[in-house]
């Protein structure tokens, strides 16, 4: 078959690209080798982890807050098998949704693993398809760590962590990043003793340092233990047990931790195996990413790349935006992604959300800024709902009041962040947010109050 565009990979980058390109009039196919569409995000990432986070958050609410609201009775028991089947249903509904969208938009699903024998050709199984343009959206895989051999049973990556045979009594998480803390939270709520071992002296590197400190305190209150400044040397497993060895960086002393399960969560790397990029001469960066120009074109004409396989944060929504942008470019439009306004969210409780500059990056740039901060303790809705931990922090230019970044730790932070993203897209000042009427009583009022705090002051602080 001959197509205007063949997209390789059906994760959020690939499927969004395929749908948008079809909507813009191109004849499109998408290659996917998994049994279901949706890539890592829908099958073994964002969506299943959110199902487990949702279920275990309800469990935590029942255990900790129901009684205070006059909801008494036996505490819910965990049926792990049923929880996993709820997670599987959630995945199924979402992956079938993409299949439906492909049919609706007349995108052909080429089932199998793709390679690119030459520019303009995509091979799937024994068939070679012709394509005027090719977009690689092949995503990423968990990075290995020397000395830690993953078997996806006792020593697992995020994939195995979503499918454990039973709830571990002791879980050791290597890496206090997004995956480690989301999955660590899930198992801590299910009763596991969770220890997070992190190389740096702080958690969630790259996030606002004040948010990270508060986050660590709150997670510690929920039972997670942290060993910071510790470089993991290795992990060994028998059939059912594991031992993790780490060295404390301050004094080089060696320590061990026993566990039933070890989760390796020290980052991900681009996945481009089997595509044949080397033979094609596609340039790869030192970090193993496919090099692209500002229009997502690789060093080879007709071949483009987006998402986790190229530079930038490994986030589903970043890949989606690039998918839409490259589809627009290929359809002759001006595709563009504003990398300055890409939110990041950690879906724990409370949630952590951020966008734009942090205080640390602004200090590095020597840029004069002001801080407007508001605690959820001053938010009526949050107090009513046992959700008053955390704060909203808005960073604005000292002179112009333009919003430069925002950091939220609190209830539904991942939803609250978006009004700030929209404001930033419009180049808004903190005062613009502060003068916008916000419904009462909502968590969003905390965002307005933080904006007010950039000016004459918050009302409820």
Name the residues annotated as catalytic. 440
- The residue range among 162-170, 287-295, 344-352, 435-443 that interacts with ligand NAI, by the rule CB under 6 A, is 344-352
Residues of span 388-427 touching ligand NAI by CB under 6 A: none
Is residue 200 within the footprint of ligand NAI (CB under 6 A)?
yes
Minimum CB distance to ligand NAI, residue 180 (Å): 5
Residue 178 within binding range of ligand NAI, rule CB under 6 A: yes
Stretch 235-274 residues interacting with ligand NAI (CB under 6 A) = 265-268
Site string for ligand NAI, 205-224 (x = CB under 6 A): x-------------------
Q: Choose one: 107-115, 170-178, 280-288, 449-457; the region binding ligand NAI (CB under 6 A).
A: 170-178
Q: Which is nearer to ligand NAI, 268 or 407 (CB)?
A: 268
Name the nearest CA neighbour of 224 among 235, 233, 215, 234: 215
Which CB, 288 or 313, lies closer to ligand NAI?
313
Find the part of the chain contacting ligand NAI (CB under 6 A) among 54-62, 115-123, 179-187, 215-223: 179-187
Q: Which of 19, 83, 232, 458 binds ligand NAI (CB under 6 A)?
A: 232
> Can residue 184 be called a binding residue for ligand NAI (CB under 6 A)?
no
Q: Considering only residues 13, 175, 307, 356, which one is a binding residue for ligand NAI as defined by CB under 6 A?
A: 175
The yes or no reply on residue 180 touching ligand NAI (CB under 6 A) is yes
Cβ(145)–Cβ(266) below 8 Å: yes
Q: How far apart are alpha carbons 37 and 41 in whole angstroms? A: 10
The b-or-e profile of 64-103 (16+ CB within 10 A means b, else e) is eeeeeeeeeeeeeeeeeeebbeebeebbeebbeebbebbe
How many residues lie near ligand NAI (CB under 6 A)? 26
Residue 26 or residue 176: which is nearer to ligand NAI going by CB? 176
CA dihedral sign, ordered 345, 351, 358, 393:
positive
Rg (the chain; Cα; Å): 23
Q: Does 174 bind ligand NAI (CB under 6 A)?
A: yes
310 near ligand NAI, judged by CB under 6 A: no
Residue number with the smallest Cβ distance to ligand NAI: 177
Query: Is the CB of 204 or the CB of 395 nearer to ligand NAI?
Result: 204
Residues at the site binding ligand NAI, with contacts judged by CB under 6 A: 145, 174-180, 182, 197-200, 205, 231-232, 265-268, 313-315, 345-347
């Amino acid at each position: 078959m001959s197509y205007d565009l063949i997209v390789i990979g059906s994760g959020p980058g690939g499927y969004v690209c395929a749908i948008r390109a079809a909507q813009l009039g191109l004849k499109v196919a998408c290659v996917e080798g998994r049994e279901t569409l949706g890539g890592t995000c829908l099958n073994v990432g964002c969506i299943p982890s959110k199902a487990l986070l949702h279920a275990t958050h309800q469990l935590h609410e029942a255990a900790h807050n129901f009684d205070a609201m006059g909801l008494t009775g036996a505490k819910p028991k965990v049926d792990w098998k049923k929880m996993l089947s709820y997670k599987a249903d959630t995945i199924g509904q979402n992956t079938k949704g993409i299949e439906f969208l492909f049919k609706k938009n007349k995108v052909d699903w080429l089932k199998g693993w793709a390679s690119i024998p030459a520019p303009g050709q995509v091979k799937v199984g024994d068939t070679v398809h012709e394509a005027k343009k090719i977009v690689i959206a092949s995503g990423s895989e968990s990075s290995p760590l020397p000395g830690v051999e993953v078997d996806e049973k006792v020593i697992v990556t995020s994939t195995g962590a979503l499918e454990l045979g039973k709830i571990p009594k002791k879980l050791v998480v290597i890496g206090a990043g997004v995956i480690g803390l989301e999955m660590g939270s899930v198992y801590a709520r299910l009763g596991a003793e969770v220890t997070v071992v992190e190389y740096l002296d702080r958690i969630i590197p790259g996030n606002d340092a004040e948010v990270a400190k508060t986050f660590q305190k709150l997670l510690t209150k929920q039972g997670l233990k942290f060993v910071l400044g510790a470089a993991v040397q290795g992990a060994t497993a028998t059939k059912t047990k594991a031992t993790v060895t780490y060295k404390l960086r301050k004094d080089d002393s060696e320590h061990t931790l026993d566990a039933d399960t070890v989760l390796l969560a020290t980052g991900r790397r681009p996945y481009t195996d089997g595509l044949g990029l080397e033979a094609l001469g596609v340039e790869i960066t030192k970090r193993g990413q496919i090099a692209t120009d500002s229009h997502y074109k690789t060093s080879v004409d007709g071949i483009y790349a987006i998402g986790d396989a190229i530079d930038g944060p490994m986030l589903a929504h970043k890949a989606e935006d690039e998918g839409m942008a490259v589809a627009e470019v290929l359809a002759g439009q001006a595709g563009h992604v504003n990398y300055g306004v890409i939110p990041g969210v950690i879906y724990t409780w409370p949630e952590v959300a951020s966008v734009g500059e942090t205080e640390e990056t602004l200090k590095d740039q020597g840029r004069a800024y002001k801080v407007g901060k508001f605690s959820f303790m001053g938010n009526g809705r949050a107090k009513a709902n046992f959700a008053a931990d955390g704060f909203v922090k808005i960073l604005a230019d000292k002179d112009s009041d333009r919003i430069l970044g925002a950091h939220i730790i609190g209830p539904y932070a991942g939803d609250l962040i978006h009004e700030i993203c929209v404001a930033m897209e419009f180049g808004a000042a903190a005062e613009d947010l502060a003068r916008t009427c916000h419904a009462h009583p909502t968590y969003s009022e905390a965002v307005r109050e933080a904006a007010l705090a950039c000016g004459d002051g918050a009302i409820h602080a």
